Structure 1
C-alpha cells in the first residue's frame, strides 16, 4: 500500500527513548532465569569442588607476657643492682625479635624443617575425592609423611649448597632405596646413614621407612632463608591491645599437629633466648669474679705471711697517736681506692675509658692517690721499724678486706643468677584443637553461588543490551510507530509436531483448532475485515448477451517479515484458511521465489508456480486485455499455475523454479497484469513475500497490496532489525499497516502475557 512520505509515523520510528526502565530490566532478568540459574548452579558446583580441593587449614595460638623491667637483681640490694644494672624491653620490639632467624633457626634445626616431603602421585581429582591430603610431620627424630602406599620417614638429609631447593625422588627398591635428581642416582640401605658424592657436591641421608616399591616420593632440602620466610608467612606475632605487653603468637598450616609443634618450639626458643639474655650481665660478672678471687686470695696469704714473719722477728710495736691516725686514714684511702678500682674493672667490661662513669672514677682515683702520697711522705719520717710495721699490717688488712668483699659479692650473685627468670613469661602454650579454620565451606559455596548468579545476571543483561529481542508489543509500537495488530501465541501441540521433520501439515485448523493460537489468527482476520474498505458491486453492459456482469475487487494482503524464520508462511497459510471460513474465495501466493516453502504446508509441489508463469512468454493474456480494455478477464494460461489445496475456497500458486532475476520479474508489467486479473477472481489474495532485509522483492510486491503486514517473532527477532525494516518500507513510500507478533510464549515470567486471548471452547 502506497503512503505519503510526510506521514507522521516516520518521526515516531526515529524517537529514541533514553529513559532506563527498571521494570523492563527486572523482567529481562526474570525472562533470563534459565541462564541465571545455570550459572548459579555452575558456581555452586565449582564452589563445592573448590571447598573439597583445598586442604583444610588449622591454627594454633600462644600468649607471652613481656614485663617492662627485671626486678630480680634489685631485690637483693642497692649495691648489687648498681653492679648489674637494669634492662627494659617493649612488646613491639620483642614481637619483631620472635620473627628473626636468631629465634627461628634453632627451631628449624631441631625439627628438620628444611626437609620437604611431598607425594607427587596425588592429583586434583584425588584431592577432591579425599577432601584432605596428609601433610608432613616434623619432629626432633625426623620428618614423616603418610602416603596411600605407606609411611615415609627421613631422619637426616643434608646436601651441599648446589643441591639446595633441588627436587629429588625417593623410591623403595628390593635392596633399600634409590635417590635420584634426574641426573645422578644413589642407592642405599633403609635405616642406615649414607654419604653420597654427586656431580654438585655431597649428600648425607638417612631413610628410616618408605612406601611400597615403585611408589616415588619427592624430597628436597630448602635453604635456611626460604624456610624461615615460609615460617614467617604462616606466623603472626601481634601485641594484644595497646601497651598491654601481651604478645599473641598464631600459626596456620595444613596439619594441626605440625603447626602446634612448630609454634611450641618457637615459644620455647624465644623464652630460652630471653632468659639467657636476662642473666647475661650476671654471668659476665660472675666470670670476672671467678678469675679475680684466686689472685686476691693468693695476695692476701702472701701479705699475711710477710707480716707474721715481721712480728715474729721484731715483736709488737706501739705506734704513736699521729701514726695511728695517719694509718687509719691511709687504710681508708686504700679501701676506697680498691673499691673504685674494682668498680672501674667492672665498668670497663662494658664501657670504654671515655664513658662518663669511668672518667668520674678516674678523677676520684687521682684525688685519693694524691692524698695517699701526702700521707706516705708524712709516714716516711717515722722510724724504719715502725714504718715497716705499719706497711705490712696495712697490706694485710687491705688484702683481707678486698678478698672478703669480693667473695661476699660472688656468693650473692650466684643466688641472683639462680633466681633470674628474664622479663618474658609464657601465659599460654599452643594446644591442638583439630578444628579447621579454612576453608569455610558454607561461605565458599554461598559466595560461589552468588558469584555464579551475578555472572549469569551480567550475561543476561549483556545479551539483552547487545541483542535486544522483541518481547514487548508496546515497546515495538513505540520503536516503529506501527500498531501491533495481533499477538499469536505458541501452539504447544504444533511445536511438538514440528519437531518431527516428516510432519508437513501445519495448519492450525487441522491440528490445534481449539488453541489460543488459532483464535488469535481469527482475531487478526476480524481486524483486517473491518479495517479494509467496503467492497462495492460494479455492473457493466455486456454487448454479447445484453446483460450485466459483476466485477470482483479482491483485496491483496502482503505478509512479510524483517528476517527469515519469523513464521510469515505460517501466518499466511492460516490467515488464508480463516478467510475461507467466511465463504470467501482465497488465493495464497508464494511470492518468495528464492527460498519459499509455503508449498510444504499444503503438501504440494513447488513446480509450475509464480516464477514459471512470469518467465514464460504467454501472449494470449495481452491480446485478450487489448480486445477488452474496460474489464480484464482471466487468461486461460493462468489456470495451469493455480493449484487447488484440497481446502474449500483456497487456491495456491507456488513459487516455481528458482529464477535468476526474481526482482526484475516482479517489476514487469506481466506481474501487474496478473494481480489485476487475480483480483477479479478472488475475494482475498494473501501473498507470502521474502524478508524485507533479505531481498527487495517485498518492496515491489507491496506496491500492489491493500494491506501490508510485517511478522516478527517473539524472543527471536531483533528490535533494531524490525525498526530498520519498517524504515526501508517507508523509504519506498509503503505504509506498513500492522505488525504481527508471532510465537508468543506465555509464562509466569512474561510481563506481557495479557496480550493473549482466552481459549473459548473445547480445550480437550
Structure 2
C-alpha cells in the first residue's frame, strides 16, 4: 500500500510539473504581448501593402471535347482500315499538345505577344497608391499601353537574334512625327506611323510606332524570344482533363487583364482546332495522293492486257475450255486477284510503316501461301495444250487488272467524300468569356495570413529571447540553482514607478510615496526575517549589526532596498546608519535629497595619519531629516576605490561607527562590476543579494554567487525585487495574498 501511494504521489508530481511547464510557456508568450502586438501590426501593414501592390488577377475558362471515334482511312471499310491502326491520342496527350510551341507560336505571331511594353516611371509606391496599374493590351493590330501622359501603340517590332530579350527605350521627340530608340549603346531616330529599319551593332531592327506619350515620357520595349514567350504563356495557362477518362479538357488562363486573357485563350483554341483538323485529315490526304498516282498506271495496265487478249482471240478464235481447265482458270484468277489486292495493301502500308511492321509481315506470309498455290495450279495448267494455256493466261491478266482498277477507283471516290466532310476529333464545348471576377489577390485572406505569420514570428522571437536571456522569474528555481534561500519578494510599486519616470525628480521612499502598498509590507516582512535571523552580537562589537546589500549587476534596485530597509528598521526606535559604499556610481544621496560629493571616499582617502576622532567623523556623517537615520554618502570618485576599502581606515571606521548605531546597512557595488562587496563582507553579519524580477539574467546571478563562494563569502539570502503581479506572471502567487490596505 505504501508503494502504491508513493507511485501515485510521484505520478501526480510529474503531472503537476508538466502542467507548470506548459503554463510557463503560456506565460512566456503572454509576457511578450508587446512583441506579439508589434509583429502582428507589422504583418498587417505588410499584408495591406502587398494586397495593394499586386494587380488584380482574373481568370478565363474554356472546355474542349476529344472525340475518340476514328476518322480518315476507316471510311474505306474493312478492306484497308482493318489493317491500319487508327489510335487516337488520349486527352492527357492533347493537353500537352495544346501547350506546345506548335499551337502557341501562331498565337504569339498573330497577337504580337513577344513584344513587351512597360512604363519605367511607375514605381512601387505608385502601385501601392493606385492599387491597380495599366498593363499592355495585345491585339491583331499591335500592342497598346496606357500611361499618365498618353498612349503607346506599336504595330511591329522585329529584331535580330542578338537583340532578343534586351530592353530598348522609346522616347517621343520634340517634333510630333519622330521618336528615338536607344539601348544604352546605339541610338536610332525614326518616324511615327512608318516602317523604320535600323542597323545596329548587333543586327537589324524593324519597328513601326503608331503613337507615343508626350512630355518626354520614356517607354521600355523588348522583343522576347519565342521560348521565353511560350514559357510565359504556358505558366499562365492550365490544361487538364476534367474527371477520369471523360475526354473533356478544361483550359484556364490567368492574367491581370480580363479581356486580354480571354482573347489569348480564344486564339489558342482556334489554333489547336485548326491543327487538330489538319492532323485528322492528314492520313486521308496522303492516301488520296497515293491513289491519284496509281489509278493512271492501273488503267494503262488494264488497257494493255485487254489489247493483248483481244489480239490473241482474233488470231486463234474461240477456245472451249473444259470443266477442269475452267476451274483451274477460275481458281488461278481468284488467287491472282488476292495477290494483287495484298500487294496493293502492302504498298499502302509501306507508306506509313517499315518492312518489319507486323502488318507488313502478315501480308508477306499470305503472299507466300498464295504464290505456292499458284505454282501448283501452274504446274497443272502446263499439262494443257499450248493454245489453251495462252488463252487462260491472257484472260486471267485481263480480269485481274480490271478488278484492281475498279477497286482503286471506287475507294478513291469514297475518300474524296470522307475528306469533304472531315471535321477533326476535337470539339469546342465552351468558348472563353470575360467574367471580371478577381481571383487574386484575396485581400482578406492575405491580411489574415500576414497577421497570423506576424504573430507566429513574434512567438518565435519571444521564445528565442526567453531562451537567450533566461531572466529571473522563479524563486524555487533560484534556490535550486544557487543553494541560497529567497528570503523576500518585493512587489513593484505602481505609484513609485510612475513617479520615477520623471528623472529630474528625487527618489522617494515607500513610507512617503506609497506606504499602503504591498511593496512596503514586503519590506517590513524582510525586516522581520532579518531581526530573527541576525546574531545577538555583530562582528565588529557588541552593539551594531551590519547588513551588506549587493547585486549581481547594476539596475537591480539594491539602493532601493537599502534605503527602505533602513527606514523600516528606524521605525523600531533603532539607531540606523546607511552607507553608500558604491563610490563609483552610488546614488543613495538622491533618495535622501543630500549632496553626495563629500562622504566615504573622502574619509578613506584622507592622508592625515592621525586617528580619526568622533568629532572629525561627524563631519562625514550627514543627517537625513528622518528620525533615527544617518547617512554617509559616497563622496568624490577616488582613483582606486577597492584599495581604499582594503585599508585599515575602513576597519577603524566600522569599529567607531559600531559604538553609535544599532544597525548599519551598507550599499555595495554589484558583484560582477567590482570586488568591493568581497572586502565589505568582512564586516557584515548578513550578506544579501538583490536581483530584479524578469530583468536580471539567471546565469549572471548564479555566477556572481559562485564567485563569492570561491572567495569563502557566504550569501545569506536573495531578495527578488520588482516582482510584477498579474495573470501573465506565473509566480505572482508569492505575494498575491499579502495583507494590507492597497489603495
1:97-121: per-residue Cα shift (whole Å, max 9, x none)? 3333222222222222222222222
Instruction: Measure how far apart 1:759 and its partner are.
Output: 7.5
Report matched runs for 1:513-528 at 5 Å: 513-528=515-530
**1:319 has 2:308 as partner:** no
Partner of 2:117: 117
| Larger deviation, residues 283-292 vs 452-461 | 283-292
Matches of 1:360 and 1:476, distance apart in 2 = 99
| Larger deviation, residues 527-536 vs 484-493 | 527-536
1:611–1:365 CA distance, 2 compared to 1 (3 A): same
Matches of 2:740 and 2:46, distance apart in 1 = 49
Instruction: Measure how far apart 1:70 and its partner are.
Output: 0.2
Partner of 1:99: 99
Instruction: Measure how far apart 1:172 and its partner are.
Output: 2.6
Report matched runs for 1:18-167 at 5 Å: 21-71=21-71, 74=74, 77-79=77-79, 81=81, 86-167=86-167
- Tell me, what secondary structure is at the counterpart of 2:438? coil
Matches of 1:250 and 1:298, distance apart in 2 = 57
Partner of 1:492: 494
Partner of 1:584: 574
Q: Which among 260, 263, 266 is matched to residue 261 of structure 1? A: 263
1:85–1:612 CA distance, 2 compared to 1 (3 A): closer
Q: How many residues align?
A: 715
1:724–1:300 CA distance, 2 compared to 1 (3 A): closer
Asked if the contact 2:342/2:363 (under 8 Å) is kept, the reply is no
Partner of 1:672: 651
Partner of 1:446: 448
Q: Which among 420, 426, 429 is matched to residue 427 of structure 1? A: 429
- Tell me, what secondary structure is at the counterpart of 2:478? helix
Matches of 1:331 and 1:738, distance apart in 2 = 127
Partner of 1:694: 673
Matches of 1:337 and 1:652, distance apart in 2 = 134
- Tell me, what secondary structure is at the counterpart of 1:165? coil
Q: Which has the larger radius of gyration?
A: 1
- Tell me, what secondary structure is at the counterpart of 2:259? helix
Partner of 2:624: 645
Asked if the contact 1:197/1:203 (under 8 Å) is kept, the reply is yes
Asked if the contact 2:339/2:367 (under 8 Å) is kept, the reply is no
Instruction: Measure how far apart 1:591 and its partner are.
Output: 1.4
Instruction: Measure how far apart 1:20 and its partner are.
Output: 9.0
1:223-270: per-residue Cα shift (whole Å, max 9, x none)? 222222333333333344444444443333333333333333333323
1:260–1:676 CA distance, 2 compared to 1 (3 A): same
1:455-496: per-residue Cα shift (whole Å, max 9, x none)? 222222222222111222333233223333332233333333
1:132–1:593 CA distance, 2 compared to 1 (3 A): same
Asked if the contact 2:76/2:411 (under 8 Å) is kept, the reply is no
Matches of 2:379 and 2:187, distance apart in 1 = 83
Instruction: Measure how far apart 1:451 and its partner are.
Output: 2.3
Matches of 1:600 and 1:213, distance apart in 2 = 69
Q: Which among 712, 725, 741 is matched to residue 733 of structure 1? A: 712
1:637–1:264 CA distance, 2 compared to 1 (3 A): same
Asked if the contact 2:486/2:718 (under 8 Å) is kept, the reply is yes
Matches of 1:152 and 1:529, distance apart in 2 = 92
Segments of structure 2 that go 5 or more residues without pairing to the other structure are: 1-16
| Larger deviation, residues 367-376 vs 210-219 | 367-376
Asked if the contact 2:517/2:741 (under 8 Å) is kept, the reply is no
**1:184 has 2:189 as partner:** no
Relative to the length of structure 2, the TM-score reads 0.84
1:196-240: per-residue Cα shift (whole Å, max 9, x none)? 222222222222333334222221112222222333333333344
Partner of 1:6: none
Partner of 2:411: 409
1:51–1:305 CA distance, 2 compared to 1 (3 A): same
Partner of 2:533: 531
**1:238 has 2:240 as partner:** yes
Partner of 2:697: 718
Q: Which among 580, 583, 592 is matched to residue 593 of structure 1? A: 583
**1:705 has 2:704 as partner:** no
1:568–1:416 CA distance, 2 compared to 1 (3 A): same
| Larger deviation, residues 49-58 vs 161-170 | 49-58
Matches of 1:353 and 1:503, distance apart in 2 = 108
Matches of 2:264 and 2:101, distance apart in 1 = 14
Matches of 1:141 and 1:479, distance apart in 2 = 82
Matches of 1:284 and 1:505, distance apart in 2 = 106
1:545-570: per-residue Cα shift (whole Å, max 9, x none)? xxxxxx97122222221112222222
Report matched runs for 1:3-22 at 5 Å: 21-22=21-22
Matches of 1:82 and 1:241, distance apart in 2 = 32
- Tell me, what secondary structure is at the counterpart of 2:197? strand
1:127-176: per-residue Cα shift (whole Å, max 9, x none)? 22233333333333322333333332322211111211111122233223
**1:636 has 2:615 as partner:** yes
Matches of 1:258 and 1:201, distance apart in 2 = 32
| Larger deviation, residues 360-369 vs 270-279 | 360-369
Matches of 1:365 and 1:184, distance apart in 2 = 78
Matches of 1:106 and 1:729, distance apart in 2 = 86
Matches of 2:571 and 2:354, distance apart in 1 = 124
Report matched runs for 1:548-627 at 5 Å: 553-616=543-606, 621=611
Over aligned residues, Cα RMSD in angstroms? 4.0
Matches of 1:146 and 1:373, distance apart in 2 = 91
| Larger deviation, residues 634-643 vs 687-696 | 634-643
1:229–1:706 CA distance, 2 compared to 1 (3 A): same
Asked if the contact 1:473/1:484 (under 8 Å) is kept, the reply is yes
Asked if the contact 2:80/2:345 (under 8 Å) is kept, the reply is no
Relative to the length of structure 1, the TM-score reads 0.82
Matches of 1:652 and 1:740, distance apart in 2 = 23
Asked if the contact 1:70/1:422 (under 8 Å) is kept, the reply is no
Instruction: Measure how far apart 1:299 and its partner are.
Output: 8.3
1:29-87: per-residue Cα shift (whole Å, max 9, x none)? 22112112212222222222223323333333334343445056545633464597634
Instruction: Measure how far apart 1:296 and its partner are.
Output: 6.6
1:515–1:97 CA distance, 2 compared to 1 (3 A): same
